[in-house]
Amino acid sequence: MRTEYEPVIGLEIHVQLSTRTKMFCGCELSFGDEPNTHTCAVCLGLPGALPVVNERAIHFGLMIGLAFGCDIAERSEFHRKNYFYPDLPKGYQISQYDQPLCRGGEVGDVRIHRVHLEEDAAKLNHLGESGRIHGSGRSWVDFNRGGTPLVEIVTEPDIRSPEHAREWLTLLRTTLRVLGVSDVNMAEGSLRCDANVSVRPVGSTELGTKTELKNLNSFRFLERGLRAEIRRQIDLLQAGEPVVQETLHYDPRSDRLTPLRSKEEAHDYRYFPEPDLVPVLATEEMIAAARAAIPELPADRAARFERELGLSAERARLLAFRSELGDYYERAVAADGEDPVGLANWIPQLVERIGPDANPAESSVAPESLATLAAMVAAKEVSRDAAREVLTLLVREGGDPRTIVEREGLGALSGEGDGLAEIVQRAIESDPAAAAQVRSGNRKALGPLVGYVMRETKGRADGGEVTRLILERLGPS
Amino acid sequence: MTELIDLTAAQAARGVQTGEIGAAELFEAYRRRAAGEELNAFLWVADSPAAGGSPADRPLGGVPLAVKDLFCTEGVPSQAGSRILEGYRPPYTATVVAKLTAAGAPLLGKTNQDEFAMGSSNENSGYGAVLNPWDRGRVPGGSSGGSAAAVAAGLAPWAIGTDTGGSIRQPAALCGIVGLKPTYGACSRYGMIAFASSLDQAGPLTRDVTDAALLFRHMVGHDPCDSTSVEFPGQVALPVAEDLRGIRLGVPEELTGDAGGVQSGVRESFEATLNLAEGLGASVEPCRLPHAPHALSAYYLIAPAEASANLARYDGVRYGLRVDGDADLITMYSRTRARGFGPEVKRRIMLGTYALSSGYYDAYYGTAQKVRTKISEDFRVAFEQFDFIATPTSPWTAFELGSKTDDPLAMYFNDFCTVPMSLAGIPAISIPSGLSEGLPVGFHLAGPAFSESRLLDVAYALERAIGFDGRVART
Amino acid sequence: MLDRAQVLHVARLARLELDDDEVQRMAAELSHVLDHIEKIRELDLDGVAPTSHVVDIVNRLRADEPMPCFPPEVALAAAPEPLRTAAGTGFGVPSPLADESP
């Protein structure tokens, strides 16, 4: 019998903080500017230069820690992490080691191990081949990014599938965006993700040998990289071979994982307390200021949507975990709050039309218009099918739904004025067999009759109204 | 000309301020001496004082300043005595230098030093040894050997240096001048090319105690660019004491006994100075610093460990020497550093890297940090009973060039008496206490953190009683 | 106490190329120094807190206010290999091997 395996995944996320200046110097943060135009003695690692901690980076770190429910360290220290690389100007990275700013806490269903502050490396560019590390030729360093404040967020190994990882990272990203501490843009590298992956037989509580996956820098690559690595590990174990602890680089183009370094080159970072900096003590004032700066978080917002607006848990999470959807929805509810549950059902319809990653606030559909449309459906002024068509037109050209309904003649047909009764009559006449079955009490036979009416009215008729009219005529006598 | 050279810096400043001396004439007198010197004390000499306001209106009166090479000075070679930084001209100036220039001490030149301040003889300079003006066959001490020799020889009215484990005090002692290592944090380290960050301090090297106080007064203060710097409590007082009544001096047997191998001539001068102190009204009693004999070991773990990281930036990427740039990256790094660093620097990088490496951290670096705690406690306890602690500065007078270069450990014992104070971060001063076989001997006094004004006062009273004459070296 | 292999390992960590003579001399000299230093390990230091800072200060924080940066020509003034590219000028280096990544 084949053993079933389950993956055990922990994530390490690096997030660039959206302070104005770098972690340890006054150079302004930038993206896409001319290389080496945002540097000074400190972030170039010139002889004699000394770091000074950015107050707002600490503030943001505390906000994140409090939002995650972490224990905030009374005293935290910076260490030097020593290694040589051209993007590391001092030959060490100033980071936190055994006294991080925050420990513990949780985001959604994943526990947080620790949150600490550090400085980002500079950008190493490779001439010739783009972006790939290769054996020969020249590279060049742009120090604009070097020294950008980073938080490193390390989770406990609580994630059980690539899909779970993706969904959770979405929640984390939204949480950080709502906090206003980062742009969390994976494409621009302001949110970067590494993963620790192991597999174990289902039911086992022991952890298997883990590997570290680097370069999972989009939601898609995260999911695909994890899937590839889980498959690789299971294949190894099923073939009776061991998983080797190593660091792997995921190449999204080939969907392949390659070891980053041989074992002999295992790093020895020689951490020791950074003598150029003094400890950070999170004072009550600092913690109070951080707490006061925290807005409503996605998890809290989802709970509020359930509690106050009556949304299902799934729908509430869908809207709250992408803050732009939640924001849009709340503006629509503010415009017309009669039926928040019905209104919420229209958001996925809108997303389907504008694309999965687009921000509805930037679409041509004003939240007020969506609210109007939903209200028209609720009042049976327009059928559900016709309303979908109206939404398509709104996405294409914007405007007011009432005007579109009128212009396109999409208003709901009623039995009295609009000749719906005549069409119903024609339907009954065109399919006597179905009519007979309905008459004898078989409601399943309503289908073809309703379908006939819908076709004839191009969906403008309200399904419920049509059924009512048919039954009125064919009601079991 | 000789008259100008005979003035102390404070006297010269007063002369400029009262109009008796022209600042330009003063600068030129020293510039000519510095440019024509034969001790290898200077690595660079200014052509003229940097333009600025009128020196006569400023507290340091236009008296030119010699600056240890490792202080970054904008547009001026700042090489920390190392070939790896040959010709490097930084785009910014160290805070301490900027403060002194603003206070009216124009930059005279950059002085030779042991490479990255690692050494006690100045023989570790990448630019050749400095000669002791008292005997050119001997070392001036180190690492601020160029600054000490320049002041002793009258090539500069005063100078600044840095002290990590004794690098101001020991060369001051060997050259017969005054050297003050301030409380850690009193002076900004911004722009000082780092050796060991938790120990490095800038300080004055001067002809007498008054000059030291005057220069030091304008060096102190919190610098927003140095997180470890603090505001000095009050203004540094110029010394006035005429006696030492009520002053309690402690003499630690651990540092003055046989362990440090103190030369007999040094011991005699030390004891004679203690007698003078008693004559001035001070009490002199033995005291205990039980962990002080272990200070040297702790120091030679902590300082190299920090240095191994501080010197990692010299990698041939952004500035300085690069060797074999066409080879692969790790070869470029390793050859650049192999060629750019001298043997002592390599030794300390190796020692420090080893002390921090996986599996050894607790045994070496971690233990050294605990010893550091015990040493600070020893001083705290001692200062409950004593105002100041007295030792010889160096166990020896200036030794012959080349006589200790083959034995690194023996060289390290130069710092036996000075290192404990460095580890505790407390201020200490060396003043000349006399001659032994024609060579200067230093008397070393240490006080609690930020006691510099009182320390300078005591040193001043002793200096007057000793009546040391350093003119011989200024020929 | 330090053997040849250890010296080579540490030299590799420190990115210092040593020739055979230097390796031998370094092993001897460092062993000699460490023999002396070792004595501190005999001290009873149980429960003693390590000192990494002698000044008792905390929270030296800088306001998040921009300061002037170097113009690129100043930043690159001392660069051994200023490398002009279409995007601008960078600090040229040999491309790292995959093995050398952090």
Report chain B residues whose CB lies below 8 A from the CB of A47. 70, 72, 78, 80, 85, 88, 90, 193-194, 313, 319
Same domain, B328 and B207: no
Interchain pair A270, B225: CB under 8 A: no
Decide if pLDDT at A415 tops 80.
no
Beta bridge partners of A383: none
pLDDT of residue A128: 66
- CB atoms < 10 A from the CB of A161, how many? 15
Kindly list the distances between the CA atom of residue B296 and the CA atoms of A115, B291, B412, C82, in Å, as whole numbers in the listed order: 38, 10, 8, 43
User: Among residues of chain A, what percentage have pLDDT more than 70?
Assistant: 95
Same domain, A29 and A168: yes
Could you tell me which of B163, B182, B218 has the C-alpha nearest to residue B13?
A: B218
Decide if pLDDT at A73 tops 50.
yes
Q: Please report, to the nearest 10 degrees, the dihedral formed by the alpha carbons of residues A242, A247, A249, A250 taken in order.
A: 50
Report chain C residues whose CB lies below 8 A from the CB of B88. 78
Tokens at residue A147, please?
């020294």
Does residue B423 fall inside a structural domain? no
- Measure the CA–CA gap between B88 and C46, rounded to whole angstroms: 46
Q: Is A25 left (phi over 0), alpha (psi -120 to 50) or beta?
A: beta
Is B372 within 8 Å of chain C by CB? yes
Long-range contacts of B450-454 (CB under 8 A, 24+ apart): B450/B183, B450/B186, B450/B232, B450/B233, B451/B183, B451/B388, B451/B426, B451/B427, B452/B180, B452/B182, B452/B183, B452/B186, B452/B216, B452/B232, B452/B236, B452/B427, B453/B213, B453/B234, B453/B236, B453/B237, B454/B387
Boundary residue ending a domain (B369, B384, B411):
B369
Does residue B151 fall inside a structural domain? yes
Q: Which of residues 283-302 of A touch C (CB under 8 A)?
A: 283
Is B222 within 8 Å of chain C by CB? no
Of the candidates C69, C92, C97, which has its C-beta nearest A27's C-beta?
Answer: C69
Instruction: Find which of B294, B321, B354 to mutate to test the C interface (most C CBs within 10 Å of its CB).
Output: B354
Does residue B140 fall inside a structural domain? yes
- Measure the CA–CA gap between B444 and B171, rounded to whole angstroms: 12
Least confident of A70-74, A436-440, B387-391: A436-440
- The 3-state secondary structure of chain A reads CCCCEEEEEEEEEEEECCCCECCCCCCECCCCCCCCCCCCCCCCCCCCCCCCEEHHHHHHHHHHHHHCCCEECCEECCEEEECCCCCCCCCEEEECCCCCCEECCEECCEEEEEEEEEECCCEEEECCCCCCCCCCCEEEEECCCCCCEEEEEEECCCECCHHHHHHHHHHHHHHHHHHCCCCCCCCCCCEEEEEEEEEEECCCCCCCCCEEEECCCCHHHHHHHHHHHHHHHHHHHHCCCCCCCCEEEEECCCCEEEECCCHHHCCCCCCEECCCCCCEECCHHHHHHHHHCCCCCHHHHHHHHHHHHCCCHHHHHHHHCCHHHHHHHHHHHHHCCCCHHHHHHHHHHHHHHHCCCCCHHHCCCCHHHHHHHHHHHHCCCCCHHHHHHHHHHHHHHCCCHHHHHHHHCCCCECCCCCCHHHHHHHHHHHCHHHHHHHHCCCHHHHHHHHHHHHHHHCCCECHHHHHHHHHHHHCCC
Does residue C36 fall inside a structural domain? yes
User: Among residues of chain C, what percentage have pLDDT more than 70?
Assistant: 95
Interchain pair A37, C88: CB under 8 A: yes
Kindly give the parts of chain B with pLDDT less than 50: 1
Is A124 within 8 Å of chain B by CB? no
Give the domain range for residue C30: 4-41
Helix (H, G, I), strand (E, B) or coil at B85: helix
Decide if pLDDT at A414 tops 70.
no
Does residue C12 fall inside a structural domain? yes
- Nearest chain A CA: its distance from B187 CA (Å): 14
Is A270 within 8 Å of chain C by CB? yes
Is the pTM here over 0.95, yes or no? no
- What is the secondary structure of B111-153 as a DSSP string? E--SGGG--SSSTT-TT-PPPBTTBTTB---SSSHHHHHHHHT
- Give the β-pairing of A247-251 and A211-214: parallel
Report chain B residues whose CB lies below 8 A from the CB of C41. 363, 367
Boundary residue ending a domain (A408, A440, A461):
A408
The model's confidence at residue A380, banded by pLDDT at 50, 70 and 90, is confident
pLDDT of residue A239: 93
Q: Where are the alpha helices (DSSP H) in B233-288?
A: 253-256, 264-279
Same domain, A182 and A326: no
Kindly list the distances between the CA atom of residue C37 and the CA atoms of A41, B354, B368, B412, B443, in Å, as whole numbers in the listed order: 36, 13, 9, 11, 27
Decide if pLDDT at A135 tops 50.
no
For chain B, the domain total comes to: 2
Boundary residue ending a domain (B335, B354, B369):
B369
Interchain pair A82, B365: CB under 8 A: no
pLDDT of residue B1: 45
Neighbours of chain A (3+ CB pairs under 8 A): B, C
Could you tell me which of A221, A95, A200 has the C-alpha nearest to residue A157?
A: A200
- Give the β-pairing of A75-76 and A79-82: unpaired
Phi and psi for B138 in degrees, rounded to 5? -120, 165
Boundary residue ending a domain (B369, B403, B423):
B369
Does residue B390 fall inside a structural domain? no
Same domain, B124 and B229: yes
Give the domain range for residue A252: 5-292
Q: What is the mean pLDDT of chain A?
A: 90
Report chain A residues whose CB lies below 8 A from the CB of C6. none
Same domain, A67 and A178: yes
Neighbours of chain C (3+ CB pairs under 8 A): A, B
- Give the β-pairing of B107-111 and A102-103: unpaired
- Measure the CA–CA gap between B189 and B168, rounded to whole angstroms: 15
Q: What is the CATH number of the domain that holds B166?
A: 3.90.1300.10
Same domain, B40 and B184: yes
Boundary residue ending a domain (A267, A292, A317):
A292
pLDDT of residue B260: 67
Does residue B42 fall inside a structural domain? yes
Is A53 within 8 Å of chain B by CB? yes
pLDDT of residue A132: 44
Q: What is the CATH number of the domain that holds C9?
A: 1.10.20
**Unique residue bearing structure tokens 């200024």:** B474
For the residues A325-345, what does the mean pLDDT come to?
A: 92
Same domain, B90 and B235: yes
Instruction: Find which of A12, A261, A278 to mutate to test the C interface (most C CBs within 10 Å of its CB).
Output: A278
Give the neighbor-by-neighbor strand order of the sheet with A79-82.
A92-95, A79-82, A272-273
Interchain pair B354, C6: CB under 8 A: yes
Kindly list the distances between the CA atom of residue B101 and the CA atoms of A176, B93, B105, in Å, as whole numbers in the listed order: 48, 10, 5
- Environment class of A453 (CB within 10 Å of its CB; exposed 0-12, middle 13-18, buried 19+): buried
A412 compared with A212, residue with greater pLDDT: A212
Could you tell me which of B170, B122, B206, B245 has the C-alpha nearest to residue B428?
A: B170
pLDDT of residue A134: 45
Same domain, B20 and B92: yes
- Measure the CA–CA gap between A459 and B163, rounded to whole angstroms: 89
Of the candidates B88, B330, B408, which has its C-beta nearest C15's C-beta?
Answer: B330
> pLDDT tens for residues A283-314?
999 999 999 999 999 989 999 999 999 999 99
- Measure the CA–CA gap between B324 and A84, rounded to whole angstroms: 17
Instruction: Give the 3-state secondary structure percentages of chain C, helix then strand then coil, rounded to 5.
Output: 40, 10, 50
Interchain pair B409, C33: CB under 8 A: yes
The model's confidence at residue A468, banded by pLDDT at 50, 70 and 90, is confident
Same domain, B184 and B320: no
Kindly list the distances between the CA atom of residue B261 and the CA atoms of A90, A92, B275, in Å, as whole numbers in the listed order: 40, 39, 22
Boundary residue ending a domain (A373, A408, A443):
A408
The model's confidence at residue A477, banded by pLDDT at 50, 70 and 90, is very low
Same domain, B56 and B171: yes
Same domain, A209 and A309: no
Report chain A residues whose CB lies below 8 A from the CB of C80. none
Cα angle: A231, vertex A234, A239; to 5 degrees:
125
B148 compared with A254, residue with greater pLDDT: B148
Does residue B382 fall inside a structural domain? no
Of the candidates B193, B312, B319, which has its C-beta nearest A82's C-beta?
Answer: B312
Same domain, B181 and B68: yes
CB A80 within 8 A of CB B309: yes
Same domain, B110 and B228: yes
Terminal Cα distance for chain C, rounded:
30
**Unique residue bearing structure tokens 């003063």:** B26
| Side-chain half-sphere CA neighbours of A378 within 13 A | 17
Does residue B251 fall inside a structural domain? no
For chain A, the domain total comes to: 3
The model's confidence at residue A265, banded by pLDDT at 50, 70 and 90, is low
Same domain, A352 and A449: no
Does residue B262 fall inside a structural domain? no
The model's confidence at residue C99, banded by pLDDT at 50, 70 and 90, is low
Give the domain range for residue B26: 2-245+447-474
Q: What is the ipTM of this complex?
A: 0.96
Same domain, A304 and A398: yes
Decide if pLDDT at A130 tops 50.
no
Neighbours of chain B (3+ CB pairs under 8 A): A, C
Kindly list the distances between the CA atom of residue A90 and the CA atoms of A48, A369, B209, B308, C23, in Å, as whole numbers in the listed order: 11, 56, 38, 11, 26
- Nearest chain A CA: its distance from C44 CA (Å): 22
Kindly list the distances between the CA atom of residue B420 and the CA atoms of A384, B163, B292, B427, in Å, as whole numbers in the listed order: 85, 12, 6, 11
pLDDT of residue A379: 85
Give the residue numbers of B annotated as catalytic, written as ranges: 68, 143, 167
Same domain, A317 and A428: no
